[in-house]
């Protein structure tokens, strides 16, 4: 990966819609879906669905920090999730659908915490978003990658208008 490109791992329910959402954002240069922070090696989708592997469906988001900041990317993330819902997003239920922000760069932690503290002010309930270092990440099977590009009428828990919003989102803090 180019040294100027950064990454973050975001769990936001079913990874099909979460990936498609982030692919629309200017400054996101690559995405891949997979399973993060579980307890077995090389899990399959069928294993993750058993609710026993502790994996979260997660999107690995690679972004160009000269175009988009982590702060802005996370603000978009919060528009695509219900941050107080525990193990559930849309109609999808189970621990694999929990929300989480998994980081690989310890320097990102202060930004993550600041964004979450700011978001918490919008809710009376505590946020149910995990904030943890990435322990492991395994790519999901090929049929899950870019699923909504391959299956435009496929299931998605996110409203279509959110994808249009993501296409138009501009990070005003980045001078281009």
For the question of residue 156 being annotated catalytic, the response is no
By CB atoms closer than 10 A (0-12, 13-18, 19+), residue 89 is buried
User: Is 56 in contact with 100 (CB distance < 8 Å)?
Assistant: yes
CA torsion 41-155-122-170 (nearest 10°) is 90
Q: To which H or E segment does residue 33 belong?
A: strand 28-36
Closest CA to 13 of 175, 154, 128: 128
Q: How far apart are CA 32 and CA 21, in angstroms?
A: 12
The residues assigned a catalytic role are 14
């Amino acid at each position: 990966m180019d040294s100027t490109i950064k990454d973050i791992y975001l769990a936001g329910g079913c990874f099909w819609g979460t990936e498609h959402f982030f692919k629309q954002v200017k400054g996101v240069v690559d995405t891949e879906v997979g399973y993060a922070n579980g307890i077995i090696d090389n899990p399959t989708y069928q294993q993750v669905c058993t609710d026993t592997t502790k994996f979260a469906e997660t999107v690995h988001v690679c972004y160009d920090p000269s175009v988009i900041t982590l702060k802005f990317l996370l603000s978009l993330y919060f528009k695509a999730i219900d941050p107080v819902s525990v193990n559930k997003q849309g109609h999808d239920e189970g621990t694999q659908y929990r929300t989480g922000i998994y980081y690989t760069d310890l320097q990102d932690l202060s930004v993550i915490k600041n964004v979450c503290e700011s978001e918490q002010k919008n809710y009376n309930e505590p946020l149910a978003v995990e904030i943890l270092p990435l322990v492991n990440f395994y790519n999901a099977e090929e049929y899950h990658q870019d699923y909504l590009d391959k299956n435009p009428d496929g299931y998605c828990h996110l409203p279509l208008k959110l994808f249009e919003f993501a296409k138009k989102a501009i990070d005003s803090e980045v001078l281009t």
